[in-house]
Amino acid sequence: MHWADVIAAELLKRSNSHRIATGISPSGHIHLGNLREMVTADAIRRALVDAGGEAKIVYIADDFDPLRKRYPFLPEEYENYVGMPLCKIPDPEGCHDSYSEHFLQPFLESLEILGIPVEVRRAYQMYKDGLYEENTRIALSKRDEIARIIAEVTGRELEEDWYPFMPLCENCGRINSAKVKSFDESWIYYECECGYSGKVGYAGGGKLTWRVDWAARWQILKITCEPFGKDHAAAGGSYDTGVRIAREIFNYEPPYPVPYEWIHLKGKGAMKSSKGIVIPVREMVEVIPPEIVRYITIRVKPERHIEFDPGLGLLDLVEEFEEKFKEKDRSVELSLVGDVVYSDVPFRHLIVVGQIANWDLDKVLEIIERTGYRVDEITRKDVERRLKYAKKWIEKYAPDRIKFEIPEKVSVDFSEEEEKFLRTYAERLQNDMSPEEIHTLVYDVSKELGIKPSKAFQAIYKAILGKTYGPRVGYFIKSLGVEWVKERIKAAL
Ligand SMILES: [Zn+2]
Ligand SMILES: [Zn+2]
């Protein structure tokens, strides 16, 4: 049984209708690592719906969070904004209303491309609208109990004058430097490190501290399930405190937790926007088909770590997807977006053929037919869609040795042995040979002439590309056209 179906079955024992929470702080480029949360939630949502339940994903943009530091991608003047809420800071590139919207908008576009429907909630707006009022009053009046829970779960004693609330200082605009001094029915009184003392109202005047905010949010948005990064899931982590705060302070049953592992970028480590080790999601969905982006997360259990390689590793992943597509595998089913069709033309083949045909669709289809694939309406539709991704992948993530251009003519020297091989090989090549036969012929001729097959392959690449490596010979020659290759070899010699 697929992991998403297992979770859905568990959830359906509790209730037929579910609200799955996801939350990302838009403090920098939202990347594939963050996307794991969204895709995990969506796989569960789909599994619930498939099992006859109802489900909705709520996406909470934590735009009331402070800017924690000036990240390497920010100009120097952003030093001044450290501590201010992300929604109150100007867009570093000036194209959106705020810092948070600048990172949020492209992410929301990506979610649409990936077929993930979300109810978007912005934290600041929720506070301003008074949604947190009731929970804030309860949290302030029960601060001793909350402090005790946090101390018991984390082993960390809080200061005597601690309050579970961060006032937004009216003077310096920071949300992480003022301390609550007291509160009454209408106001929360504070003193700020900037020297200012003032008061704020309950709606939008500040926010609950993280662990309390999380538990309050579950209740406010009626959350029943939530995937979150493994750091929150550690013993004594924020989920453990959240559970107790939800039950003991807010009288709400905490959501079903789905902790997930990180996605590492091959050779670079965990993706962290603060360190610049990221592929922004918006960029990825332009280069990699949405079903493959989803498949990266859906094919493995949430608790398993993912090593993602957008280069050659991606081709292996796509190949696996193409195989499983034929088997109607559940991971593939949960990954597909909309009414996408797949032909049996492999992505690897599109990469070679696309380069040969200079990405011209008609030429590509002609070559595909010649190389033994049936070209019908499905093939046309599929190739037209995936060829665009193949082209972008070549431009953006492909390693150099996958890329080639067919030069007008080649001027390379051949050894006597190579010459002999090429002449014989070209003579024996037949128009009606299949890619496999063309490939086998290399071995047959080299054996007959007593030359190493590796040398024989190199000679072929030299004659066609002017270098000693290239795509797999059988399909390559069939794609180029046997007649063309025969002429080419003649001309090269
Ligand atoms: Zn912008
Ligand atoms: Zn201040």
82 Cα: distance to centroid of ligand 2 (angstroms): 12
Tell me the ligand closest to 84's alpha carbon. 2
457 by Cβ neighbours in 10 Å (0-12 / 13-18 / 19+) ranks as buried
Q: Is the domain defined by 416-492 classed in CATH 1.10.10.350?
A: yes
The β-bridge partners of 121 are 60
Cα–Cα distance for residue pair 465/472, rounded to 1 Å: 13
Residue 196 CA to ligand 1 centre (angstroms): 32
Spacing, Cα 107 to ligand 1 middle (Å): 12
Q: Is the pLDDT of residue 398 over 70?
A: yes
**Mean pLDDT of all residues in 94-109:** 96
Interval between CA 287 and ligand 2 midpoint (Å): 45
Q: What is the pLDDT of residues 243-259, one digit of tens each?
A: 999 999 999 999 999 99
The pLDDT tens digits of the residues spanning 276-311 come to 556 788 889 999 999 999 999 999 999 999 999 999
Please state, in angstroms and rounded to a whole number, the distance separating the CA atoms of residues 345 and 322.
Answer: 9
CATH code 3.90.1200.10 for 1-152+213-323: no
Decide: residue 159, CB within 10 A, 0-12 exposed, 13-18 middle, 19+ buried.
Answer: exposed
Number of the ligand closest to the Cα of 196? 2
Q: What is the mean pLDDT of the chain?
A: 94
Percent of the chain with pLDDT over 90: 88
Residue-wise pLDDT for 351-380, tens only, equals 999 999 999 999 999 999 988 899 999 999
Q: Of 84-88, 244-248, 257-261, 265-269, give the lowest mean pLDDT range.
A: 265-269
pLDDT tens digits, one per residue of 15-61: 999 999 999 889 998 888 889 999 999 999 999 999 999 999 999 99
pLDDT confidence bin for 275, thresholds 50/70/90: low
Q: Tell me, what's the pLDDT at 264?
A: 85
Q: Band the pLDDT of 98: cuts 50, 70, 90.
A: very high
| pTM of this structure | 0.92
pLDDT recorded at residue 231: 86
What are the residue ranges of helices labelled H in 397-452?
A: 416-428, 435-449
Does residue 59 or residue 265 have the better pLDDT? 59
113: pLDDT strictly greater than 60? yes
Q: Which ligand has the shortest distance to the CA of 198? A: 2
The residue to which tokens 């037919």 are assigned: 369
Q: How far is the CA of 66 from the centre of ligand 1 (A)?
A: 18
Q: How far is the CA of 91 from the centre of ligand 1 (A)?
A: 5
Collect all residues with Cβ–Cβ distance below 8 Å to 245 and sequence separation of at least 6.
146, 149, 211, 212, 215
Q: According to the model, what pLDDT value does residue 10 have? A: 98
Query: What pLDDT is stored for residue 34 in this prediction?
Result: 86
Q: For 142-172, how does the pLDDT look when each residue is reduced to its tens digit (9 = 90+)?
A: 999 999 999 999 998 999 999 999 999 999 9
* Residue list, CB under 5 A from ion ligand 1: 91, 93, 95-96, 102
At residue 235, the pLDDT reads 84
425 vs 297: CA distance, rounded Å: 46
Q: How far apart are CA 240 and CA 243, in angstroms?
A: 5
Q: Are the C-beta atoms of residues 429 and 438 closer than 8 Å to each other?
A: yes
- At 412-463, the pLDDT tens digits run 999 999 999 999 999 999 999 999 999 999 999 999 999 999 999 999 999 9
- Ligand in closest contact with the CA of 190: 2
- CA of 167 from ligand 2 middle (Å) equals 9
Look at 284 and 2; give whichever has higher pLDDT: 2
Give residue 91 CA to ligand 2 midpoint distance, Å.
22
pLDDT tops 90 at residue 270? no
Q: Where are the domains of the chain?
A: 1-152+213-323, 153-208, 347-402, 416-492
Residues with CB under 5 A from ligand 2 (ion): 169, 171-172, 192, 194, 196
